[in-house]
Structures are given as structure tokens and as C-alpha cells.
Amino acid sequence: MRLALMISALALGLAACSQSTDRYSVPVANGDVPAIYQARSDVGPNGEPITIPAVRAAYLNERNQRQRVPYNGPEAPGTIVVDPYARVLYHVMENGEAMRFGVAVGRAGKGYNGTATIQRKQSWPSWRPTDNMIRTEPELYGQFAGGLKGGMDNPLGSRALYLYEGGRDTYYRIHGTMDPSSIGKATSAGCIRLFNQDIMDLFDETSMGTRVVVRSQAESLRLEGPLIETPEGYVVPASEASALGFSGQPTNVTDTAPATTEGLTEQLQAPLGAPVAPVASTAPASPALVQDPFASTDTAFVSPVESAVPSW
């Protein structure tokens, strides 16, 4: 059964949320994979042992690896700042610094911006497709109508943080992933996902009531500057493009997503929309200036499952 669920989840993906400097250190272990990204043993939702595989070195580029960086935002220490356009998450520290994490951004990751608080934390969260998803695509979601318990087969990964605003669930999640190759990229579903090792440590460092700021596109551009999307689907600062071998002027990408939403709940329950097409360019060989995290539809992993509302 476990294998069947894993194959089904992968099929869905291919078809288609007191700081400790010791915990946040990144010592280098054997080979190219830092110790914090090596395999871990954990306890599953029913007390069973779970082994979390090491993150492959190929997925740990400079921007994806957890690292302490200078921070120029206005937020107070302890705040979590999510930038879905730069595809990073900051945990703000003292002395003008923050711990930066690479994230994958699903379409629901852009459906909310503003200030919220963490009002629920869940280890090995379960999830269930919404009724609308089951009704509109029964062949895809019907088998999961009873929900899927937490574990390595669950696309929400090892941990989840749930954002609330004014006592109301925003349906915005920060969670792990079953596909580490997606981190740093834009996908067409889900919220904000991290490597399982990263979300586990962030989870432990995050208390209930922690303030979370999700940046708008304008805030991202002002604080991070323009970003270039590489052929592999990652983003880098436009100012570094030449040094990284990119030539020519970057091409803007039209943000075709709605500027406002009536609520993320509706977005999560709606069928997935058509892929976002980039604007025609006179220099197609040049990478795009990323202003919309869903500008590129050529992603290796797309999981509509991660847009489902996790079950309680």
C-alpha cells in the first residue's frame, strides 16, 4: 500500500505551502553535502521510525542552501519573512542578519501577502483534497478522498506551519516536500515548501504566535532587486547575471495572475488553471526577468496535491 500511495503521489506531481545559532550552523560533512542536509531519523505520526534521505548535492546550490546573510528588511528579530518572488524565506536574527532558506513556490504561495501569525504547527501533517478537487477530477483525487496520513509519501513533507490572520485561517502553509529537486523553483501548485531538513529545524525554532510577513511583488522588487531566471529554473540577482555567464538584456515577464483574490480558500478549491505563457521576446535566448514566480512553466515537478487543504 505504501508503494502504491507513493507512486500515486508522484504521478500526481508529474501530471500537474529564542533563535539558536547552533541549530542554524552549516558544518561541512563528508563530501559536498553539509551535515544538516544528511539523512536524519525521525518519529512518524504513529510513533514509527522514519528515515529522511539526505539532500543530493546537486540540489544544494548557493541560493538554496541555508545560510546566514545580511538582512535589510524592517522586520524585528524572530519574524519569518517569505518572499515568493525571490523564492527565499528569511528567519530574522539580531544585528541586521537573517537565516535564509531556499524555497519552492507553488501557485497558492502567491495568493496571499501581508502579515499573519503561526497558529498551528504539525509534525508529519496529513492532507485531503478539497471536495471540489475530488468532484472535478475524480480520477486523480478520488483515491485520496479519505485523506493521506503523514509520512514520506505525503507531499506536505515532514512539518507544516499554518498561517492565520485575525484568527482566520489564510490557507497559506509553509511545509516540507517529497521532492527536493523542486526547491528554488516555481511550480503550479502548493504554498511554500522547504527541504525537509530545513522545515524541521525552522519548525523547532518557531513558537506559536510567531509573526510572518509575506512580501508582495512590489516589496520583493524593492528589497531584493530584479531577478533572472536561469535555464534550470532557479533565480539569481540580475546584477550577477553577467558574472554567471548570462548575456543580453533580461526580458520582463507579464504577471498574468490576478492582483487580488477573494480568498485563498477559493483558489485552493478551484481546478488548476492553464499555464502562464511568457511574453514574446526579441531575445529569446536571454533568461527572463522574474517578477512572477509562475512565469516559467517548464518545471520538473508540479504537484496539485500540495494545493489541497491538509486535514485536521
All residues at 6 or more sequence positions from 95 whose CB lies less than 8 Å from its CB, including other chains: none
Residue-level pLDDT at 111: 75
Pairing between strand 80-83 and 104-105? unpaired
Residue-level pLDDT at 291: 38
Active site includes 91? no
What is the largest distance, in Å, between two alpha-carbon atoms of the chain?
57
Contact, 76 vs 90, CB < 8 A?
Answer: no
DSSP category for residue 240: G
Residue-level pLDDT at 306: 41
Residue type present at position 215: R
Which helix (H) or strand (E) is 238 found in, with range? none
Contact, 85 vs 290, CB < 8 A?
Answer: yes
pLDDT tens digits in sequence order for the chain, 312 residues long: 443 444 344 444 433 353 333 344 343 344 489 999 999 999 999 899 999 999 999 999 988 999 999 999 999 999 999 999 999 999 999 999 999 999 999 766 677 899 999 999 999 999 887 788 789 889 988 988 999 889 888 889 999 999 999 999 998 999 999 899 999 998 755 689 999 999 999 999 999 999 999 999 999 999 999 998 888 889 888 888 777 665 433 432 334 333 333 333 333 332 223 333 332 333 333 444 443 333 333 333 334 444 443 433
What is the DSSP secondary-structure string of 141-195?
A: HGGGTT-B-SSTTSTT-SEEEEEEETTEEEEEEEE--S-GGGTTSB-SS-SEE--
The catalytic position among 66, 159, 173, 175 is 175
Residue-level pLDDT at 270: 29
Cell of 94: 539580531
All residues at 6 or more sequence positions from 243 whose CB lies less than 8 Å from its CB, including other chains: none
Residue-level pLDDT at 228: 87
DSSP category for residue 108: G
Residue-level pLDDT at 13: 40
Cell of 76: 524585528
Residue-level pLDDT at 246: 59
Cell of 46: 504513529
The catalytic position among 55, 178, 191, 305 is 191
Question: How far is it, in rounded angstroms, from Cα 92 to Cα 71?
Answer: 7
CA 127, chain centre distance (Å) = 16
Contact, 190 vs 172, CB < 8 A?
Answer: no
- All structural domains of the chain: 2-219+301-307 (2.40.440.10), 225-290 (no CATH)
What is the DSSP secondary-structure string of 1-59?
A: -HHHHHHHHHHHHHH-----TTTT---B-STTSBGGGS-EEEE-TTS-EEEEPPPPGGG
